[in-house]
Amino acid sequence: MISEIYTIIEKNIKRLIRSKTSALIVVFGPIFMILLVGIAFSNSSLYGIKIGVFSDEYDKTTVSIIDYIKSTDFNVVYEKSAEDCKENVKNGKRHLCIIFPNDNNTQKKLEFHIDYSKLNLVYTLLNILTSGLSEHSSQISMGLTQDLLETLKTTSDDIKDNTDIIYMFRTDIEKLGLKLVDINESVNGINLNFDFESANLTGLEDNINRSEKDIESFGSGVTGDIELYKKKLESLEIDADALREELINNRDVIESIHINISNVYDGLGCNSTEDIFSIWDVETISNKISQASEPECAILFSMERVIKQREGSLDEAIEELDNVHDEIESAKDDLDSADNNIDSILDNTENKFLSTKVSINSMKGSINSAKAKVAEFNTLKDSLNTDISTIKMTLDSGLDDIDSLNSMLDTVVENLEDVTLATPESIIKPITTEIKPLIKNKNTLDYLFPSLIILIITFTSILLSSTVIMKEKSSNAYFRNFITPTSNLMFIYGTFLTSFIVVFCQCIILFLTASVFFKVSIFSNIFYIAIAIVPITSIFIFIGMIIGYILNSEETTTLASICISCIFILFSSMIIPIENMSSGIGAIARASPFVLSEIILRQLIIFRGSFMPVISELFFVIIYIAILFGLVVITRKLSKHFIVE
């Protein structure tokens, strides 16, 4: 089996080498390509870029911008008109046209006219120019921002200084508000709701009239009564005098009793040395009673006490009567006087009633007037209440506004302080970027190299294997291969290995050339790279073999190989980033063997990683290989029909 495969490989290689053109391309092609690419892309500068500029008036800012562009090694050409400028871009004489506005606004809006069909160049140019102009613009902005910051600082300080005024103002309003509350309460406390009817002046007047009448009748009655009383008093005086006479008589009687008793005392031996009747009072007598040695004495003493008491009572009664007499006299005088007074009072009262009536009338008038005034006052009070409420609300609202104003001012001051803390640089460029390549000390070719390798592998593998197959099919000997005991698989292996050996050799030439001449770092991770090359190359070889087996002429095979290779390149990130494609196409592109291979090689060559980070890509590559191998077997069997035809 191995010898058959070796024989087939040997035969294929001999056929390849014996074709001088093929040999040239196979051997020197990759060297030539890598030399060209290396020389061309060993740096990332742009050369020969022409930029057309136009402005009606080249002011200071415009000139500074143009000077900046010149400093980036671009060729600046001053155009005669805006139309010329754009036209030159269209016909390729200029890569870019910049039209400066002719207004004197602080903000300048530059118009960039560019041909987007040159996609790669467009992005690079715009990137360089816009970043530079952005920097230039930033410098201008720095000065403006500095002024702005200073103004803000001043404003912040002013606001802080005047915050106390607001506080005082607030306090005054609060006081006002409280005052208003008091006033409101006071006003509300005023209760002028007087029931004028309850004053009942009419009733009062009636009462006065009645009173007047009553007083008149009273006066009359009193006068009559006084007279009557006077008469009674006189009668009483007479009776009192009579009674007094009687009492005096009784007292004389009692005196005689006393003498009798005393005689009895003496008789009984109860007497003392003292004159008990004039000296002893009742209490002494009572004591004597208790002290009496003889019950008759006690009885006498008791009688004496009684008499004493009676006598005392009589004396009191006489005295009383005297008093009564005096009082009656006095009462009589008083009655007279009262009578006089009453008359006088009646007269006065009459007058007073009259004046009261007048007053009442006047009061009525006043009350009416007061009523009206009270009503008016109530109305005013309500209105006043309303106004006070309104004022209160306004004041409260004003307080809220002042609070809001205060907090807003606080916020403004805080914000201003935050802003003023910033520097113009931090405002203009709050985010600065520093681009750090993941791997240092790499030139453009280093980054391009994986894509370049894949490109070469793709084209070479597909073209070579398809050509080998097609040459085989075109050869008369192709038929004979089908009638030997050697199985189809051996031929497939042989063709595959032939292409693989050639492509692998090309890769070695590429690696050596890139490493030696352009210092591309390859060999530090050569083990992984070499292993990865195997499946990657296999995919494209199989694709080429399928193309070779399916198609029937060399021209169509070559065309198809180039087309498919171009499709792989187009739907990769080599020309346009995959991320720019629509989601569906982008997903398909990401599954392309070209893209997967590029990812694998990039990981291994640029980042010098192992297989682990790209294990999923490798897995898909192996699946591709399995599927393509099956298709190769099928298409080889079908290619028999080519011989028939």
Partner 1 sequence: MLPIISFTNVCKSINNKSILKDISFDIYENEIFGIIGSSGAGKTTLLRTMIGFYNITKGNINYKNSSITHNIKKIRKVFGFASQENCVYDKLTAMENINYFGKLHQLSNRAIKHNSEKLLKMLELYDSRDILAENLSGGMKRRLDLACALIHNPEILIMDEPTTSLDPVLRKHMINLIKLINESNTTIIISSHLLEDIEHLCSRVGIISKGKLLVAGTPAQLKNMYSRNEEILLETHPGRYNEIIGYLRAMNLPITYYTNKGHVLVIYTPQAEVVLHHILHLLEKMKEKLIDVDVNKPSLNEVFEAFTRQEKDDK
Positions that interact with partner 1 (CB under 8 A): 3-4, 7, 11, 14-15, 18-19, 475-486, 640, 644
Q: Are 168 and 406 in contact, with CB atoms under 8 Å apart?
A: no
Q: How far is the CB of 505 from partner 1 (least distance, A)?
A: 19
Q: Are 470 and 554 in contact, with CB atoms under 8 Å apart?
A: yes
Q: How far is the CB of 24 from partner 1 (least distance, A)?
A: 15
Q: How far is the CB of 558 from partner 1 (least distance, A)?
A: 19
Residue 486, token pair as written in the block? 């050697």
Q: Where are the beta strands (DSSP E) in 424-547?
A: none
Indicate if the alpha-carbon torsion angle 448, 451, 453, 458 is positive or negative.
negative
Q: How far is the CB of 551 from partner 1 (least distance, A)?
A: 19
Which CB sits closer to partner 1, 440 or 480?
Answer: 480
Q: How far is the CB of 645 from partner 1 (least distance, A)?
A: 10
Residue 335, token pair as written in the block? 């009655």
Residues 6+ apart with CB under 8 A from 188: 381, 385
| Whole-angstrom Cα Rg for the chain | 70
Q: How far is the CB of 641 from partner 1 (least distance, A)?
A: 8
Q: What is the DSSP letter of 194?
A: -
Phi, psi of 622 (to 5 degrees): -65, -35
Question: Can you tell me the distance from the alpha carbon of 27 to that of 24, in angstroms, rounded to the nearest whole number?
Answer: 5
Which CB sits closer to partner 1, 44 or 475?
Answer: 475
Question: Can you tell me the distance from the alpha carbon of 303 to that of 61, in angstroms, rounded to the nearest whole number?
Answer: 151
The letter for the amino acid at 477 is A
Q: How far is the CB of 502 from partner 1 (least distance, A)?
A: 15
Give me the DSSP letters along 98-116. EE---S--SS--PEEEE-T
Which CB sits closer to partner 1, 18 or 109?
Answer: 18
Question: Can you tell me the distance from the alpha carbon of 44 to that of 435, in angstroms, rounded to the nearest whole number?
Answer: 15
The torsion of the CA quartet 606, 610, 613, 616, rounded to 10 degrees, works out to 110
Which CB sits closer to partner 1, 27 or 76?
Answer: 27
The three-class DSSP label of residue 476 is coil
Q: What is the DSSP letter of 73?
A: T
The three-class DSSP label of residue 52 is strand
Which CB sits closer to partner 1, 332 or 471?
Answer: 471
Q: How far is the CB of 479 from partner 1 (least distance, A)?
A: 5
Which CB sits closer to partner 1, 592 or 639?
Answer: 639
Which CB sits closer to partner 1, 19 or 138?
Answer: 19
Q: What is the DSSP letter of 591?
A: T
Which CB sits closer to partner 1, 27 or 122?
Answer: 27
Q: How far is the CB of 487 from partner 1 (least distance, A)?
A: 8
End-to-end Cα, the chain, rounded Å: 30
Buried b (16+ CB within 10 A) or exposed e, 282-302: eebbeebbeebeeeebbebbb
Which of these, 345, 348, 344, 362, lies nearest to 205 by C-alpha position? Answer: 362
Which CB sits closer to partner 1, 435 or 644?
Answer: 644
Which of these, 567, 629, 562, lies nearest to 592 by C-alpha position? Answer: 567
Which CB sits closer to partner 1, 184 or 486?
Answer: 486
Phi, psi of 52 (to 5 degrees): -90, 140
How many Cβ atoms sit within 10 Å of the Cβ of residue 514? Answer: 23
Pairing of strands 75-78, 111-114: unpaired
Q: How far is the CB of 529 from partner 1 (least distance, A)?
A: 33
The 3-class secondary structure across 273-330, one letter per residue, is: CCCCCCCCCHHHHHHHHHHCCCHHHHHHHHHHHHHHHHHHHHHHHHHHHHHHHHHHHH
Which CB sits closer to partner 1, 19 or 366?
Answer: 19
Helix (H) or strand (E) holding 78: strand 75-78
Q: How far is the CB of 547 from partner 1 (least distance, A)?
A: 22
Which CB sits closer to partner 1, 351 or 484?
Answer: 484
Q: How far is the CB of 460 from partner 1 (least distance, A)?
A: 20
Q: How far is the CB of 480 from partner 1 (least distance, A)?
A: 4
Q: Where are the beta strands (DSSP E) in 6-55?
A: 50-54
Question: Can you tell me the distance from the alpha carbon of 380 to that of 366, in angstroms, rounded to the nearest whole number?
Answer: 19
Q: How far is the CB of 4 from partner 1 (least distance, A)?
A: 6
Which CB sits closer to partner 1, 15 or 108?
Answer: 15
Residue 39, token pair as written in the block? 């020389």
Q: How far is the CB of 640 from partner 1 (least distance, A)?
A: 7
Which CB sits closer to partner 1, 129 or 464?
Answer: 464
Which CB sits closer to partner 1, 431 or 483?
Answer: 483
Question: Can you tell me the distance from the alpha carbon of 544 to that of 538, in angstroms, rounded to the nearest whole number?
Answer: 10
The three-class DSSP label of residue 455 is helix
The letter for the amino acid at 404 is S
